[in-house]
Amino acid sequence: MKEVLLGELGGDVGEATIQRWFIEEGDPVNEGDDLVEFTSENGAFIIQAPASGVLTEVYYDEGETVQKGEVLCMIDDEEDDVDEAA
């Protein structure tokens, strides 16, 4: 399982608001896919998936404010191990 965190936001900004999830819970995701769009005092930005697998858990909904360093969601990346063995 891979945790997806809200990382550095630049400057003194400590939180951002989720505008849109591009992938829904239970859907497959590929490393580098657009995952979630945020807005903060510094503008809009997108977090991309750090691994391929299945988006298993989403901890925040659209419109919610998230603090820097919080876990946004979990990606089950064990499928990669199965694909590589095949």
Q: Under a CB-based contact definition with an 8 Å cutoff, are residues 4 and 49 in contact?
A: yes
Residue 11 confidence (pLDDT): 75
Residue 67 phi/psi, 5-degree rounding, is: -85, 145
CATH topology for the 2-85 domain: OB fold (Dihydrolipoamide Acetyltransferase, E2P) (2.40.50)
Domain locations in the chain? 2-85
Q: What is the pLDDT of residues 5-61, one digit of tens each?
A: 998 877 788 999 999 999 999 999 999 999 999 999 889 999 999 999 999 999 999
The Cα 31–Cα 77 span in angstroms is: 10
User: In this predicted structure, what is the pLDDT of residue 48?
Assistant: 96
Predicted local confidence at residue 80, as pLDDT: 46
Res 16: pLDDT: 95
Q: What is the pLDDT of residue 86?
A: 45
Flag whether the pTM goes above 0.85: no
